[in-house]
Structure 1
Amino acid sequence: MVAIQSHSQPASDAPIGVFDSGIGGLSVLKYIRASLPCEQLLYFADSGYAPYGGRSESEIVARSLAIAEFLMQYRMKALVVACNTATAAAIKALRERYSALPVVGVEPGLKPAAALSKSGTVGVLATERTLASAKFNLLREQISAATNVRFLPQPCKGLADQVEKGELHSAATAALLQRYVAPLLEQGADTLVLGCTHYPFVLPLLEEIVGRATSRSVAIVDTGEPVARQLARRLAERGLLRTEGNGTVQGFTTGSETALSSAFAKLLNLHPPVAKVAASD
């Protein structure tokens, strides 16, 4: 593969790396492209190892470091961990190894959800690994103490898999969402947090289910836009924003090239080149 950046290029022209366990991080990539249209983006889908939610923390750290090392071949100027589970497990290790690199992670939007909630009860849809992480639980305790909001964590086993398979509107996906969301609404949640970057892709189905289940207004919080804003801030602070030229996207995957290409086309209406990466890379 040919690197996007040569050694003679200025730092601002270097690409930004974005990775997820699969295609979920495309929901974050969408916001990054919208807010930073001149940037060159490298998207890495670790689909050969998906889902991360059921893996051990040490496995997730190892995969995250391996992906970062691969993307560093392209002399990236920033890294976005577009995966809640990887952020919770590995962002500390990534920042320690690449201390000179801006590393931006995602986390469930508990703070904006607390501000939106009128009932004081917020449901958090996420993977088991995210909800079990020390990072999530510390954030939950801090915001609960400051706001008196009650957070209801709901592990959503299998939901990210449905998104990976492209089953965004299927009966099976609807049944999973119904099973996970109904108890939260019954306990008075008037705000739901999408705590996994895969979940925004089933938002239309989620809204249908919520609409049928309750007549009250329910807010749904996604974290892609705040991540893009934070990335822009970090780049601007370092004088690394690319303000001219057309933005580009390059895809990499440890899974199926066809599957990632299809996801780009179906979810973002993009048709970038996609390369297969061996697991050992």
Structure 2
Amino acid sequence: MLAVRPPAAPIGVFDSGVGGLSVLRHIRAQYPNEHLIYVADSGHAPYGDKTEEYVVERALAVTDFLLSQGAKALVVACNTATVAAIKAVRLRYTDLPVVGVEPGLKPAAAASRNGKVGVLATARTLKGEKFLQLRAQISEATRAEFLLQPAVGLVDEIEKGDLRAPAIDAILEKYVAPLLDQGADTLVLGCTHYPFVKAGIERVLHTHGRDAVTLIDTGDAVARQLGRLLEAAGLLRPELKPDATLHGYTSGDPAALRQAFNDLLGLQPAVEKMAV
């Protein structure tokens, strides 16, 4: 059992690196008066090539840390960690509102005109039991065909911070083009890092004459679900004051996370090293 947290307590958000900042920006936009703590577990990234047991261990360790900082709710802003570890987190902390992210297969199936949906994600996400069950369920309900494509190395390149790097463009061409060749008219960005290279993906689409392809990013839906859980638990911070705080922690290099906050979100929060 957790101690009851007050509505003024912060929301904890974590990812293996900076990708979860794409979810954090939706949370800040929808709930500007909420205090936020962001953890980038960059010292143990990427999660996509780790075993499920390792990802579970890290997810529980980061959750413990966020709870020690007073977090009232948790957003697992990482597709790989959601697939591998969210069940373990919920089993350990039954009273904690927990929101995960998963590839937006349902909205993608609804958006597709020809029923062919490309899914870009990490190899770990695409192999996960939770994801495979979701794909089977939605495929049966909608008859959509999901074309799975692990984007090997893309998270590593995004973490370096140069989103216009030739290496990123080369990876995007390598993995997006085959999905287009198979007829995909909708692409799911199945990793929270990927919205930050949306412009690069759109360049690939334009090069192949496929500007009409729809891109699906689930960050907005994650923020809405967080709000529903907080409201149901009576944990929404009621005061609309310009004093909401944002604090960053990382198991990697604090300077790198500060740079990511600035480059990706235009923010300059305090960032500290996390000894976990």
Gaps of at least 5 residues in structure 2 are none
- Larger mean CA deviation between 212-221 and 248-257 belongs to 212-221
- Larger mean CA deviation between 211-220 and 165-174 belongs to 211-220
Once residues 115 and 138 of structure 2 are traced to their aligned partners in structure 1, the CA distance between those partners, rounded to angstroms, is 12
Q: Hey, what does 1:82 align to over in structure 2?
A: 77
Q: Hey, what does 1:183 align to over in structure 2?
A: 178
1:32 counterpart = 2:53: no
**RMSD in angstroms over aligned alpha carbons?**
1.2
Once residues 156 and 201 of structure 1 are traced to their aligned partners in structure 2, the CA distance between those partners, rounded to angstroms, is 14
Deviations 1:48-104 (A, max 9, x none): 011000000000000000000011112211000000000000000000111000000
Which one of the candidate residues 68, 71, 77 is aligned to 1:73?
68
Q: Hey, what does 2:265 align to over in structure 1?
A: 268
Once residues 18 and 95 of structure 1 are traced to their aligned partners in structure 2, the CA distance between those partners, rounded to angstroms, is 15
Alpha-carbon spacing, 1:82–1:10, altered in 2? closer, same or farther (3 Å): closer
Q: Could you state the TM-score of these two structures normalised by the residue count of structure 1?
A: 0.95
Once residues 5 and 17 of structure 2 are traced to their aligned partners in structure 1, the CA distance between those partners, rounded to angstroms, is 31
1:256 counterpart = 2:261: no
Which amino acid letter does the alignment assign opposite residue 211 of structure 1? H
Which one of the candidate residues 218, 221, 225 is aligned to 1:230?
225
Which one of the candidate residues 63, 73, 95 is aligned to 2:58?
63
Once residues 216 and 74 of structure 1 are traced to their aligned partners in structure 2, the CA distance between those partners, rounded to angstroms, is 45
Partner secondary structure for residue 7 of structure 2: helix
Once residues 178 and 166 of structure 2 are traced to their aligned partners in structure 1, the CA distance between those partners, rounded to angstroms, is 19
Which amino acid letter does the alignment assign opposite residue 128 of structure 1? A
Alpha-carbon spacing, 1:264–1:149, altered in 2? closer, same or farther (3 Å): same
Once residues 74 and 172 of structure 1 are traced to their aligned partners in structure 2, the CA distance between those partners, rounded to angstroms, is 38
Deviations 1:100-153 (A, max 9, x none): 000000000000000000011000000000000000000000000000100001
Once residues 15 and 108 of structure 2 are traced to their aligned partners in structure 1, the CA distance between those partners, rounded to angstroms, is 23
Partner secondary structure for residue 44 of structure 1: strand
Gaps of at least 5 residues in structure 1 are 1-6
1:42 counterpart = 2:37: yes
How far residue 10 of structure 1 moved from its aligned partner, in angstroms, is 6.9
Once residues 185 and 161 of structure 1 are traced to their aligned partners in structure 2, the CA distance between those partners, rounded to angstroms, is 24
Once residues 20 and 71 of structure 2 are traced to their aligned partners in structure 1, the CA distance between those partners, rounded to angstroms, is 17
1:203 counterpart = 2:190: no
How far residue 243 of structure 1 moved from its aligned partner, in angstroms, is 2.6
Which amino acid letter does the alignment assign opposite residue 117 of structure 1? S
Once residues 35 and 242 of structure 1 are traced to their aligned partners in structure 2, the CA distance between those partners, rounded to angstroms, is 12
How far residue 214 of structure 1 moved from its aligned partner, in angstroms, is 2.3
Which amino acid letter does the alignment assign opposite residue 133 of structure 1? G
Partner secondary structure for residue 220 of structure 1: strand
Which one of the candidate residues 234, 243, 247 is aligned to 2:244?
247
How far residue 170 of structure 1 moved from its aligned partner, in angstroms, is 1.2
Which amino acid letter does the alignment assign opposite residue 254 of structure 2? E
Once residues 88 and 198 of structure 1 are traced to their aligned partners in structure 2, the CA distance between those partners, rounded to angstroms, is 15
